[in-house]
Structure 1
Amino acid sequence: MSPVSSRVPHGQSPLRTVQVLGGGNAGSWERPLLEELGGRHVRSLAAGLVARGVRVTVCAPEETDRVHGFTGVGADHVPVPRSSAPVSVAALRTACADADLVHAHGLHASFRAVLALSGRRTPLVVTWHDHARAEGPRAQLLRVLEKRVAKAATVVLGTTSVLVDRARRRGARDARLAAVTVPRPRAGYAHPDRPSAKVRAELGATGRPLLIAVGSLDAHRGHELLLDAARAWRPLDPPPLVVIAGEGPLRAVLQRRIEDEDLPVRLLGRREDAGELLAAADLALLPASAEARSVLAQEALHARVPLVAARTAAVPEIVGEAAELVPPGDPRAFAAAVARLLADPERRRTLRERGTRQAATWPTEDETVAQVLSVYDELTQPPGR
């Protein structure tokens, strides 16, 4: 039997699953790559499950299906707003009425699933792809949400051991490690109508190196360190252009520094073409990682773009020897690593080749689907089968 062949025994009804996707307002600063990743993962999972004979309904905002095409791989799509308001929870509860199992992705989607399944015995699997973050009073609310989800879920899947430990501390009865690969974009990283040369020209990077960072403009992303490092790149000939795709509360502070210090940095705001920007870049920059599994680190290796990253979180585990890693919080070390790499085309070629090999060690989409399906079977099959 092939990895994608039907698994439904003759005469039995197919397993009915609901996939819940869509973060809350707290994540609205960071949606360029994180939501792209979540949507691509759920589309990949839905495609694999449907190919194995599983009925899949994806509950997600209307625009998410337009972008990722869940219905195009055989899943049903039920529009559910990105909100925990009663109308959103009621729509989700209706969609889950005949489900054998519900699988929610991310903390906020998981919380909505918990509310929708209240009073029902439907198994709930939740995947935590990343750390949810908040400060002040919202941090306490975040802990409450995590505890509510962890205790209510039948199984919590964490993409890193740190997330698994966090789920256990929050009261999860069953928390497991489930590394999830980053599915390649269906159209690749470059677009035929916007080749890299055109993208670079649009950004003002013709004839000079283009460096890219992607992430919300907040204190956890290290953009202030990136501006510190950019001062050291001004004497380079030609000086590289740094572009940052993302939006957030520090935008005004960062823009003021860029202007006052005449730094070769552009803030692009929130972009829907982050993959194309990445494909056009000479280097990807990760001055800090607030994510459990850095999306940019994985995207850069897939796209064969050399990466310079702070040695934080799970970055070393993800990239292995396929990136230039520097001590966290050290702008001089970061600036020096970038300058060395720009001056060394052979090292950049080596990192691209290592990146391809490293990405090949990550779980394939088929392996990810098979792992998830084994959890589904465990939770839905009668004892002794």
Structure 2
Amino acid sequence: MSSTTAPSHSRAPLHVVQLLGGGSAGTGAHVRSLSAGLVARGVRVTVGASPSAERRYRFTAAGARFVPVPVRTGPAAIALFGALCSDADLVHAHGMRAGLLATFALRRRAIPLVVTWHTRSTVPGVRAQLRRLTEHCVARAASVVLGTTSDLVDRARSRGARDARLAPVALPARRTAEDGPAARDPEPDKIRAELGAVDRPLLITEARLDRSGSLDLLLSAARHWRGLRPQPLLAVAGEGPERGALQRRVDREELPVRLLGGGHDTAALLADADVALLVARWAGRAPLAEEALRRGVPLVATAVGGVPEVVGDAAVLVPYGDSRALGTAVGVLLGDAERRAVLAEAGRIRAGSWPTEDTTVAQVLSVYDELAAPA
């Protein structure tokens, strides 16, 4: 099937309702990209999401119709979304919360449901049990589950999905300039000067400042950098409820760390970074990792979830939970300019092998064509 023309259906144009739940930044960007690509191919797209998602991603500017839908699953949201789907040929939910809402709203309706699993939760206890039940419900209700990484496909199958397929998404690049030195900030010392890292290595990461444990792991690793000369600076972009507690630890232990808070452009920060860090208990196609490799910024990441599948040999991988291994890996990399250059080139090559937005839309459209075609 050509990716430049709309498929032939008994009802034209095909009407697809995209549903976005809470969603991460990567999920929202994917829905926006997918909506634009589908509209360009003659598909009528309606996006149901929170008003804040529309303000951030501007689905209407991509040619889609936008309808505000409460992100919480409840009777009002189920009724609203059910009405929204009254003339839909197919519903595509993104994320577990959206998948559950669609499952309830489409009950006893002969409308195909596609659910993309972009990520997974690592919360423990009762919430983990509830998440498992939700995954079972959504997996069994979906006509097709699309997993962005192989481990998510395996997880969907283990939860009872009748049809689970690998469908890596293309996260749009944060800037349109080509990767490499030409894409760097025209004032390369400006950010370094603002952060106090003109004459020292700059490490960049982004993370929510909460009790997930990843920030504690990073701060523990930072202890290993205090003796390096010049001493590197770790800049953390992100906000969260534990910022105060984390800042107190930074001050108490005199760690070379700056908590930048929210509102910082991670792409701009990466333009001046010597090394990028992705530290997570689980991650799939993490925007930080993809942006770092596109830009040729050496990456140190935890070997979890879909990360090894995404980065291949173009990053240094360490086990999650081992702060010594993380600290040592960063220290060794900072002391080896040749290794950093090799990783920079490998990252750009790896990024060139990822699916494009066009191939992503074509793959998803082929699934729609399969499900919505007349029997």
TM over 0.5: yes
The yes-or-no answer on 1:207 pairing with 2:199 is: yes
Unaligned runs of at least 5 residues, structure 2: none
Counterpart residue identity of residue 324, structure 2: R
Q: CA deviation at 1:198?
A: 3.2
Q: Once the two structures are aligned, what percentage of the paired residues are identical?
A: 56
Q: Distance in 2 between matches of 1:50 and 1:156?
A: 22
Q: In structure 2, what is the equivalent of residue 30 of structure 1?
A: none
Which stretches in structure 1 are left out of the alignment for 5+ residues? 24-33
Residues 221 and 157 (structure 1), Cα distance of their counterparts in 2 relative to 1, 3 Å cut:
farther
Structure 2 equivalent of residue 167 of structure 1: 156
1:28 maps to which residue? Answer: none
Match of 2:114 among 125, 132, 150: 125
Once superposed, what is the RMSD of the aligned Cα atoms? 2.7
Task: Name the counterpart of 2:74.
Answer: 85
Q: Does 1:146 align with 2:145?
A: no
Which residue of 1 is the match for residue 13 of structure 2? 14
| Residue correspondence of structure 1 range 247-258 to structure 2 within 5 A | 247-248=239-240, 250-258=242-250
Note the alpha carbon deviations across 1:64-122, whole angstroms, 9 max, x for none: 22222222221111122322233333332222111100001111111111222233211
CA contact (8 A) 1:124 1:154 kept: yes
Correspondence for 2:93 among 85, 89, 104: 104
Secondary structure in 1 matching 2:35 = helix
* Cα deviation code 1:229-275 (max 9, x no counterpart): 21121222331111222344654543332121110112233446333
Q: TM-score, normalised by structure 1?
A: 0.87
Q: Does 1:244 align with 2:236?
A: yes
User: What is the match of residue 61 of structure 1?
Assistant: 50
Please report how far the alpha carbon of residue 194 of structure 1 lies from its aligned counterpart in structure 2 after TM superposition: 9.3
Q: What is the Cα deviation at residue 45 of structure 1?
A: 0.9
- Measured at CA, do residues 134 and 288 of structure 1 come closer, stay the same or move farther in structure 2, by a change above 3 Å? closer
Q: Distance in 2 between matches of 1:305 and 1:18?
A: 37
Q: Aligned letter for 1:175? A: A
**Shift of the alpha carbon at 1:40?**
1.4
d(CA) in 2 for partners of 1:202 and 1:95?
48
Superposition deviation, residue 355 in structure 1:
0.6
What is aligned with 1:27? Answer: none
**Aligned match for 1:268, one of 257, 260, 263:** 260
- Structure 2: distance between partners of 1:157 and 1:46: 16
Query: Secondary structure of 1:14's partner?
Result: coil
SS in 2 for 1:77: strand
Contact 1:107 1:132 in 2 (8 A): no
Partner of 1:31: none
CA distance in 1, matches of 2:143, 2:272: 43
Alpha-carbon offset, residue 324 of structure 1: 1.7
The CA deviation at 1:160 is 1.9
Matches within 5 A, 1:1-385: 3-8=3-8, 13-23=12-22, 35-185=24-174, 196-218=188-210, 220=212, 222-248=214-240, 250-271=242-263, 273-383=265-375
Structure 2 length-normalised TM: 0.89
Q: Structure 1 CA distance, aligned partners of 2:362 and 2:191?
A: 38
**Which residue identity does 2:127 align to in structure 1?**
R
